[in-house]
Structure 1
Amino acid sequence: MLWNYATPGIPDDLFERLPGIPLSKREVRLLILSALRLQKDSVLWDIGAGTGTIPIESGLLCPNAQIIAVERDDEVANLIRHNCNRFGVTNVKVLEGSAPKCLEDLKPKPHRVCIEGGRPIKSILEEVWQHLQPEGRVVATAGNLETLYAISESLSQLQARNIEVVQSAINRLETRGIHQTFAAVSPIFILSGEKL
């Protein structure tokens, strides 16, 4: 097994990747997992699952959870399956489809939803909210001001409660030539809210 620890925080380089496919950096992943507040038997939908980092970390933390990774590109969906196999995660189902349309008949209904880079974000949030179980949580990420505003506005219109917004500010030590220097990881906004 690639990750023999009970804690999250798998190093980025242990995941197989495809060129141009985003990967949630380890430190950002930890913030997202914290915001999700997973329970042992949660149903989690991860929309825009990319490389599969959140479903894999969630699956390892909560082996009794049901996790559905939604990805529109079949090659990327196969990458998620491959990464799940590499880490021995068996409780992740990969759904190929474009949100929000593919969410209409998706079951089981989620306790938690993670949205990473989904477009159109407002439509996705509205559809997710209809399926989210009472007291469920949504966590969404934004890499730019426009997406931050759209998510914030949507959570307000949906009357989400306990809204939290966190911006990551992470620096990693890197070796460049004979020197060690700190390099910034692109900042990400992480927004979360709960359904009544």
Structure 2
Amino acid sequence: MRHFFGIDDEEYIRGDVPMTKREIRMAVLNEARVQEDSYVLDVGAGTGSISIEAALGAPKGHVYAIERFTKGVELIKANMAKFNVSNMTVIEAKAPEGMADLPALDAIIIGGSAGGMDAILDEAERLLKVGGRLVVTAVTMETGYTILKALKNRPFTYDGYQMQINRFRKAGPYHMLNPLSPIFIVTAVKQAEA
């Protein structure tokens, strides 16, 4: 059965670890073009919400989730058990160190770089297949700038956008808008070397 992206946020085991919200996950996974046999890497996986949905969308593929914090790794494993995900490997490391032994990938999603964007992109460039997709999210303008600067002079075509989500919230007999933080999403496609 085909998985449609967009599991409700409340379904995930969270703790106090940041989690990519449902609407953003849907956009990111669509940009990554996850297919049933995709090999995907999620860098800075947090609770594993993107990794879990990618794994559910790629039942014949495999997902690697890199997370540097132990409490995040524990949450990812708890969510793997909750959603019965077995085609996923959790790597407790700070990227790019955890990327060294990975196979060729169809998509790489970066939700956190801990200041190491250039080194992570070096590994992403090495690991992505030609035509593979890199999707990077940023909640700060500085990270958005860092992504664009780091992509220059690399074999990628890229574009991006800023997304602002407002959810309905009941207020008595009315509905109001409850805003989520804006986010930048940059998508890059690896090109053949010249």
Q: Provide the TM-score with structure 1 as the length reference.
A: 0.91
Q: Which among 99, 106, 120 is matched to residue 111 of structure 1?
A: 106
CA distance in 2, matches of 1:177, 1:69: 42
Alignment of 1:83-122 (within 5 A): 83-104=79-100, 106-119=101-114, 120-122=116-118
CA distance in 2, matches of 1:125, 1:50: 19
1:153 aligns with 2:149: yes
Alignment of 1:1-196 (within 5 A): 6-19=3-16, 21-104=17-100, 106-119=101-114, 120-161=116-157, 163-176=158-171, 179-196=174-191
Instruction: Tell me by how many angstroms 1:102 deviates.
Output: 2.1
Question: Match of 1:117, as an amino acid?
Answer: G
How has the CA–CA distance of structure 1 residues 129 and 118 changed in structure 2, closer, same or farther, with 3 Å as cutoff?
same
Structure 2, gaps ≥5 residues long: none
SS at match of 1:133: strand
Q: CA RMSD in A?
A: 1.6
Q: Provide the TM-score with structure 2 as the length reference.
A: 0.92
Query: Post-superposition, which runs of at least 4 consecutive aligned residues in structure 1 deviate over 3 A?
Result: 176-179
Give the paired residue count: 190
CA distance in 2, matches of 1:74, 1:93: 15
Query: Deviation digits for residues 113-138 of structure 1, max 9, x if unmatched?
Result: 00002122222112221222222111
How has the CA–CA distance of structure 1 residues 109 and 5 changed in structure 2, closer, same or farther, with 3 Å as cutoff?
closer
State, as a whole percentage, how many aligned pairs show the same letter.
35
Query: Deviation digits for residues 42-62 of structure 1, max 9, x if unmatched?
Result: 110100001111111111112
Instruction: Assess if the C-alpha contact under 8 Å between 2:144 and 2:184 holds in 1.
Output: yes
